[in-house]
Structures are given as C-alpha cells and as structure tokens.
Amino acid sequence: MKAATKAATILLAACIAARPAAAAVVAASGYAAHAIPTADPVQGGVVRRGKAVLVGQGAFGAGGERIVRLDSSGVTTVATGFNSLGGFDLDAGGTLYVADNGAEQTGAVTGDTLFAIPDALTRTAALSAAGQEVVAKNTIPSAMDVLVAPDGSVLVTDAAGPGAGRVVRVRRGVAADLIGGLNIQGIALGPKGVLLVSALDASYTVGTILRYTLRGAARGTFASGLSGAFDHVLDTDGDVLVSGSSKVVALAPDGSALPDRASGFGFSTAMFFDQPRDEVLVLDAGASAIAAICRDRDGDGVCDVDDDCPTVADPSQTDADADGVGDACACSGGTIGKAHVTIGNLATPPGDETLVVKGTMTASPAVDPVATGLRLLVRDGSGTVLNATIPGGAFDPLHEAGWTAGKHGAFIYRSPRGVLGIAKVTVKLSSKNPGQLTLAVVAKNGSFAVNPTQLPLSLFVTFGGAAQCGVATFPGAAPDPHCAYDATRGKVKCG
C-alpha cells in the first residue's frame, strides 16, 4: 500500500491493524464487484489503460517492491527496486510516474522522490528504480500521491504530517512547492481544472477534501468529516469516490453524501477510475487482488460494458446467434439508413480514440430518449469495439449531464466527462414521418480496440423495446471502401 508519512507510519499501521479482516467486497445497488487476482499483496498505486493494468507488488522494505503489468500476455515486471511505493499516474505517451517514500529503509539505494518509467504499457524488460528519478532522491521525503497536470508538469503530495505536508510541482526536473501547511494525502483533478486535495486531522482518522486552483490558490472546502481520506477519484458522473476506511465513500459534485460505492474492505487505499470501462479499481491493504467496482444497471453481476444485454438481467449472457446482442435484447426493428461509423486515433496509445456515428432509423412506437436512454453497440469481426449505455433522465445541473429537449423534435444528451468517451448524442425526430429519427453520436478520449484485419464493423442502436432498434452492417470486407482502415491516419471509416 502507499506508505504514510514518516512520523505517522506506525499510527496508520495501527489503525489498519485494528480493523477486522476484509470480507467480500460488496458494491452498491446499480454496481457490481469483482476481483483481479495478483501474485503478491498489492502495494502503492494502480492504473489501467486499455487492457493493461499497472500495479505495485511485493514487500515493504529496501528494494522489496516492484511494478507489474497485467494484460493479455500475462504478468510482466516493468520496474523493480522500490522501498515504499506511493501513487501512480500515466501520461498520454505511456510514461508511468511513481512516488516512493522509503529512502530511509536500511539498504535502500534510492527513494523519497518521483520516478518516471517510460513505455510502461509495452516494455518487456524491467527497469531498476535507481536511475529513473525525475528529481534527486530525498527531494520529496514523504512522496505520497502523483497527478500528471494538464500542462505536463507532475504534482506530488509530500505527506510530511500535520501542518508540514505540501504539494510539490515537478517541471523540467525541478521541484517547487505549490501548496503547503496540510496533513496532506491524495490529489485529483476535479471539474473545470480544479485541484481536489485530501488531508487528515492530527489523529489520521477524519478526512477533508479542499479545492485549489492549478496555481495553488485556495478555493474552499469540498467535503469534510469523512471517515478517512487516503485517495480520491472522479467517476463518469463527476461524483468523487474516497478511500481510507473499510469502504469507498461517494460524494456528489457539490460534496453531499451519496450511498457508499462499496464496502467490505480491510482498509481501502489507492484507486484509479477507468472511464472507458466505467469502473473504479481499488487496492485493499494486504490483499492479493485488485477490487473492481463497475456499473451494472440490471443487477445481474455482469459489468454493463461487458453485458450483451445491459438493460435486462441475464447473468448467463445467452446470445444464440453470437451477434453481441443478448437474446433478451433481440432486435426486431429495421435497418439503420445512411449509416456512418468513423473511429480515429487508433495508431496512438489507448485512451484518446475518437468516434462519430450517424444514421437514420424508424421505430415503433416513437422513441423518447429522456425516458429510455439508448444503447450503442459497435463490433468488428473479432468482438465488441464499444458497448455503451447512455442513461435516460433529464439534464441534471449538479452533474452537468443528461437529456434536454430542443426545438423541432430534437433531443440532446451532454456529459462533460462522457459515457465511455461519448460526450454528446443528438436524436432528431421527424415531424413528417412518425417514428423516423436521425441519430448523431460524438465521442473523444475513448478506448476503442478495433482490429483492422477484422472489418467490416456492425452497428446496433436501441432505445427501449425490440421494435425501437436498428442494425447496420457495411457490405464487403477490407479493403472495401464501404469500411476501410487508413493506417497512415489511424482511422477506420465505414459507410
């Protein structure tokens, strides 16, 4: 797990030891919990991009901890020689930034600073921590959490204890204080570029989350009186999830309490929110597994992003024709006309893909996206590319997401954080032809794993019942111009 400040290590360890052993993690209603096993107890931080998970492993002490990658190839060690790992963050190019605060351990050769591990998502040979310091060892004595800022600098919390903690900005190999005077713990980027910084009281049991600008100016309290505040992340809805106890607490964008997202932890520590999967990864102190809490609207125990019928409980995932659509959601509607699907940025690291979907269809009865939302499924010959459920509901000013009814039969869904990258959906109903509609979907910063050798794509859209859906298949196979991959631009265009 992330080590606490030098002065508070024993106190925090006592708090953890006093807690009962963890039972099974239980997710809130509308979510499901599952575990990603690890060979050894988890340590430090966790991040995921695409199908690759990076997590700390090993035993606290000089050189006893390492960073491994879990992906389709199995387990790969990417860096070794850490003493007391802190938080992780990835930049756009796949460099992993890591904090370590154990330089005082007998025999340690480095630590108490920020490290950079290049090509962490793809490297096959492990690097030694020594030599990968971004600033010299001992520069940040209680390096705790890490955040890659929008300007490319890296922010590191230095959990030096009550009144002595700080946030350090590291830029071009130089560390400078940004925020000070707190018993600081975690850091995250909130809405509209606001920094959310967590701190604990002198007893290390009561947490507060404070707002700051990216330049370090205080902007008041976001939430207080929390049962711990080890780490915090923002989910797809803009809610803030907070660890540091036997549960993961959820807070609305105004700081008010929501139902706990999950419970049953021994002591929840580092977290990462995987927006493309709508899933939070949580480390539990001493556990040899990563807890994953995903959206599960139909309550069948299958994550929505993996569910072949996410609106109807179907734990067996029955799909007799293997079209990616569960039999309970079988479509008896018509063909999507004038269909176009374009997916870009496929040649760059996962997480920045764009998607545009357009088409027309006829539904009976006429659709009401505010009431039903919609499901969008895109597949290639090897499997699912995108499985997104856009929820119904009128626009919610608190979360800044939802549907609005515009002029001339138009309905528009907006979400600043996006649903699996989808930030805007426009549905326009025809005034002349009852049931006919035009659809436009725009996504960015998604993770869409298209296999260019498995074209063409297929498109499935549903608003509710079996007759309120449409299917589009694109004729021919690659390199048919109806569905082709442009390797130079990293783009698939169908239609």
Kindly state whether residues 371 and 273 are assigned to the same domain: no
Q: With beta carbons less than 8 A apart as the criterion, state whether 166 and 179 touch.
A: yes
Q: Cα–chain-centroid distance for residue 426?
A: 25
- Classify residue 100 by burial, with Cβ atoms within 10 Å: 0-12, 13-18, 19+: buried
pLDDT at 327: 80
Closest to 66 (Cα-Cα) out of 51, 49, 88, 50: 88
Tell me, yes or no, if the pTM score tops 0.75: yes
Q: What is the pLDDT of residue 312?
A: 86
H/E segment holding residue 370: helix 369-372
Determine the average pLDDT of the residues in 120-131. Answer: 96
- Note whether residue 487 is domain-resident: yes
Number of domain units in the chain: 2
The pair of three-digit structure tokens given for residue 468, joined into one six-digit string: 């309120």
CA atoms of 419 and 375, how far apart (whole Å) = 11
3-state secondary structure of 117: strand
- Residue type at position 490: G
Cα distance between residue 19 and residue 76, in whole Å = 33
Helix (H) or strand (E) holding 250: strand 247-251
Burial of 431 (0-12, 13-18, 19+ CB in 10 A): exposed
Mean pLDDT of 265-273: 96
**Parent domain of 439:** 331-494
- Note whether 35 and 290 are within 8 A (CB): yes
Share above pLDDT 90 across residues of the chain, in percent, rounded to a whole number:
68
Q: Do residues 286 and 335 share a domain?
A: no
| Beta-carbon contacts of residue 301 (< 8 Å; ≥ 6 apart) | 32, 315
What single-letter amino acid sits at 324? G
239 occurs within a structural domain: yes
182 alpha-carbon distance from chain centroid: 27
Claim to verify: residue 238 and residue 362 sit in the same structural domain: no
What's the pLDDT tens digit per position in 44-64? 999 999 889 999 999 999 999
Last residue of a domain, one of 245, 274, 295: 295
Residue 1 lies in a domain: no
Which of 295, 321, 344 is the endpoint of a domain? 295
Verify cis geometry, omega within 30 degrees of 0, for the bond prior to 479. Answer: yes
Determine which of 11-25, 440-454, 472-486 has the lowest per-residue pLDDT on average.
Answer: 11-25
CA–CA dist 129, 108 (Å, integer): 11
Q: 17-31, 236-250, 277-291, 331-345: which range is least confident on average? A: 17-31
pLDDT attached to residue 178: 96
Q: Which long-range contacts (CB under 8 A, 24 or more apart) does 392-396 make?
A: 394/370
Q: 297-336 burial, b if ≥16 CB within 10 A, otherwise e?
A: bbebebbbbebbbbbeebeeeebeeebbbbbbbebebeeb
Res. 131: pLDDT tops 50:
yes
Residue 241 CA to residue 263 CA, distance in Å, equals 12
Both 289 and 339 in a single domain? no
Residues 247 and 338 in one domain: no
254 and 355 within one domain: no
Q: Are 273 and 280 in contact (CB under 8 A)?
A: yes
Give the Cα separation of 290 and 57 in Å (integer). 11
pLDDT at 23: 57
pLDDT for 481 equals 57
Q: How far apart are CA 38 and CA 275, in angstroms?
A: 22
3-state DSSP assignment of residue 168: strand
Q: Which of 269, 209, 233, 262 is nearest to 15 (CA)?
A: 269
358, HSE (Cβ side, Cα atoms, 13 Å): 7
pLDDT at 9: 42
Per-residue model confidence as pLDDT tens digits over 392-425? 999 999 999 999 998 788 999 999 888 888 999 9
Q: Per-residue b/e over 2-31, b at no fewer than 16 CB within 10 Å? A: bbbbbebbeebbebeeeeeebeebebbeeb
Residues 132 and 178 in one domain: yes
**Same domain for 18 and 68?**
yes
* Kind and range of the H or E run holding 416: strand 410-419
Contact in structure between 78 and 54 (CB atoms under 8 Å):
yes
Q: What is the pLDDT of residue 14?
A: 37
221 is a domain residue: yes
Residues 261-275 have a mean pLDDT of 95
Do 383 and 468 reside in the same domain of the chain? yes
| Dist. CA 132–CA 67, nearest whole Å | 13
Which region among 131-135, 169-173, 447-451, 472-476 has the lowest average model confidence (pLDDT)?
Answer: 472-476
C-alpha to C-alpha distance for 157 and 142, rounded to whole angstroms? 8
Q: Are residues 337 and 478 both part of a single domain?
A: yes
Look at residue 446 and tell me if it is in a domain. yes
Higher pLDDT, 180 or 482: 180
| Mean pLDDT of the 427-440 span | 91
Q: What is the pLDDT of residue 419?
A: 87
User: Which of helix, strand or coil describes residue 411?
Assistant: strand
Report the chain's mean pLDDT, rounded to a whole number.
Answer: 89
| 168: CATH | 2.120.10.30
